[in-house]
Chain A
Amino acid sequence: MSLMDSLAAGFALVGNFEAFFMLFVGLVVGVVAGAIPGLSATMAVALTLPFTFAMTPINAILLLLGVYKGGIFGGSIPAILIKTPGTPASSATILDGHPMAERGEAGRALGMALYASCTADAVSNLALILFAGWLASFALNFGPPEFFALILFSLTIIAGVSGESLLRGALSALAGLLLATIGLDLVYGTNRFTFGDPNMMGGLNFIAVLIGLFAIPEIIAMAWNPVAHLGRTRALGKSRCTLADYLGSFKSIIRGSLIGVFLGSIPGIGAAPSAFLSYSEARRTSKNKANFGKGEIEGVAASEAGNNGVAGATLIPLLALGVPGDVITAIIIGAFMVHGLQPGPMMFILNVDIIYGLFIGLIVSSVFLLLVGSVAIRGFKFVADVPKRILMPGVLVLCVYGVFAVNNNIFDVGVMFVMGWVGYIMMRNRIPAAPFLIAFILGPLLEDNFRQSMLMSGSDPSILFRGPITWFFWLLTAITVFAITRSTLRKKVPLS
């Protein structure tokens, strides 16, 4: 199929009101959820997932991508106004955004955050369109040993999402890998940890585990301390972001976007490091270096460009290799699977219309984000005023309906509650939940490809090193592990 044929197929799929409406709704939901402290973009994507079951795959994925992109921008609103990042990626935005809000320039900071986000989003989408197809055509040569080496490398994502302690992150990942072994064995069909319960034979439901880990602990935390969320909101002020502000920061925005694209296309690095790297580069090269950290608008532009530049690029490994770039794309992989799609190189052959439909939708999403973001900035007061002690019971009810709807099975609701308490215990013990979820998704793929390789070779492990592709991924894994170990040992506290 030629490029024009693929584009035409994509247009045929998304060239209707419903598809763009879903994208728009997704952006609205994402921006609102990102703007409410405590409701992260991850949680928003997880909670939206059950609503997509009855939709066509393209509408469902566009809705979720809208929530993802909206959530990343939405997180900057509370970061600037109340010094509480709605998402971890917005942490760098606080550095200059909040000082600007304190001197009455919140409107200007939010405007710059929006324009930088939209620009970076467009650059990131362009990178996705240019590189995903190329990477997928390369990945068509992969067999089980190559996929095993790739997934093993992808598990180094865990270092990126482990937060303050690599050991706790690794423990979380191992718990996820162990939980993924529940169900019938992939090769022999024998029971593993099913305790004779037919509900467990297919393994634990991904969405129940996901919502249990990311949404329920927030509700339990609310029971522990119902007043922890109370804070002070800043007014927008009268100043607005001007064209001169935008052009003055344009170089930092483009540089931040490219940093975001580069780091986002590597699984596991995520938006927060990209935002900080973009910020530090802008600071290093800026004429107003001394103002950084005190309310410099270029700092807001750089950090927002850095974190939004990641949003499209994380979809490169997702679409081309079937490997999540971060925790939100891990959830989106689950959405693909729910709709009978398997992201990876074969998708570029079997579902090329969906791939190009997504590309078209993503280009439009940058424009929609500009519209939705402009309104959201003005409407933040109403979003921030939603009483959280009413919101959280609503989230609980939504979780119950959503998880039940996956398989029409009350057992899944029980799994969600149990995972919620597990997630809460992890939260209290500072064990990050993201490595758990990523390992839970990648675990069966890793084991499946390993055992297929062993079957192919008659249990000869040398097949795992059979050619340049496997060597490449083994080398990448070794370099990453070396870099992680070195950076960890450089800290004062060993391996923590």
Chain B
Amino acid sequence: MSQKSLHLRLGVVASLFALFLVFFAIPNFVFAPSNVGKIVLSPKFWPYVLSGLTALIGLGLVFNALTTASDVPFEDEETGHPEGSAPWMRLGALAVIMVLMMFGLPRLGMVWTAMLAFAACAFLFRTRHPIAALVCAVIVPLLLYVFFAHVAGVAIPQGNFVRLP
């Protein structure tokens, strides 16, 4: 992707988001008492100012994209773009793991959920050390449980099935 296309895309999204805030989100989800005399003291004032600035930056990005002559792609070293659908599937799988963690935390307890999530992630990342990954998947959540529950005094969720001391 080039800077030109990136800025065009970001600019359009930022401008639309600002419009969404001004015309829908702020009127519906920011509440101001009816007796506020001056607009600058209203709870809505700051969000409106920020929305306006977002729109300005959005337009700035669009303007920048339209006035940039060169369309040279970025040297994409940091994120990398491996080919095929596998990366997207891994991203989807990680999202599923996160959602399952949210469901699992109150039901299975943090320790067991963390163990399963650790192992699942290690295999998702195609680890070359599966035995070490499994050992770490058991030990790391247990050690963290010992620290947070018994040293820091945090009430770590225990779940409905197996409770730890």
Say if the beta carbon of B132 comes within 8 Å of chain A.
yes
7 interchain pairs, CB-CB under 8 A:
A174-B50, A192-B29, A220-B94, A224-B79, A390-B129, A400-B114, A417-B102
Task: State whether A405 touches B152 (Cβ < 8 A).
Answer: yes
Q: Is the CB of A178 within 8 A of B50?
A: yes
Q: For residue A404, which residues in chain B have a CB less than 8 angstroms away from its CB?
A: 105, 110, 154, 156-157
Pairwise interchain contact B114-A431, C-beta atoms closer than 8 A: no
B80 & A228 in contact (Cβ 8 Å cutoff): yes
Size class of the A contact interface (CB-based, 8 Å): 35 or more
B residues in contact with A54, CB < 8 Å: 151-153
Chain B residues near A431: list those with CB within 8 A: 10
Interface residues, chain B, with chain A CB atoms under 8 Å away: 3, 6-7, 9-10, 14, 21, 25, 29-33, 36-38, 40-41, 43, 46-47, 50-51, 53-54, 57-58, 60-61, 64, 67-68, 70, 74, 78-82, 87, 90-91, 93-95, 98, 101-102, 105-106, 110, 114, 117-119, 121-122, 124-129, 132-133, 136-137, 140-141, 144-145, 147-148, 151-157
Cα A87 to Cα B64 in complex, Å, equals: 30
Nearest CB in chain B: distance from A429 CB, A: 6
User: B31–A190 contact, CB under 8 A?
Assistant: yes
Contact B121 A393 (CB under 8 A): yes
* A-B complex: 6 closest residue pairs judged by Cβ atoms: A393-B121, A54-B152, A185-B43, A459-B38, A389-B125, A190-B31
Contact A496 B46 (CB under 8 A): no
Complex contacts, A177 vs chain B, CB 8 Å = 50
**Among the listed stretches A119-127, A290-298, A364-372, A406-414, which one makes contact with chain B, having 4 or more residues with CB under 8 Å of it?**
A406-414
Q: How many A-B pairs fall under 8 Å by CB?
A: 207
Q: Which of B57, B87, B125, B127 interacts with A167 by CB under 8 Å?
A: B57
A250 within 8 A of B: no
Q: With A397-B140, A459-B40 in contact, do A171 and B79 touch (Cβ < 8 Å)? A: no
Contact with B along A151-181 (1 / 0, CB 8 A): 0000000000000010110110011011001
Check A393 against B117 for contact (C-beta < 8 Å): yes
Q: Is A53 in contact with chain B by the CB < 8 A criterion?
A: yes
Q: Are B57 and A390 in contact (CB under 8 A)?
A: no
A401 interface contact, C-beta 8 A:
yes
Which one of A203-211, A327-335, A447-455 is at the B interface? A447-455
Rounded to whole angstroms, the CA-CA distance of A406 and B117 in the bound complex is 21
- A251 CA to B53 CA in the complex, in Å? 46
B43 touches A397 (CB 8 A): no
Contacts A171-B54, A404-B110; is A191 near B80 (CB within 8 Å)? no
Cα–Cα distance between A226 and B129 once the two chains are bound (Å): 14
Q: Which of A170, A174, A410 contacts B102 (CB 8 A)?
A: A410
